[in-house]
Amino acid sequence: MIAVLDSICPILPGDKLRYLMRVGTLDDILQSVACGIDMFDCVMPMRAGYHGLAFTRFGRINLCNARYVEDPYPLDPQSLCSAACDL
Q: What are the tens digits of pLDDT across the range 48-57?
A: 889 999 888 8
In this prediction, residue 66 carries a pLDDT of 93
Positive or negative, the CA dihedral 55, 59, 61, 62 is positive
Among residues 42, 17, 10, 8, the alpha carbon closest in space to that of 28 is found at 42
pTM above 0.85, yes or no: no
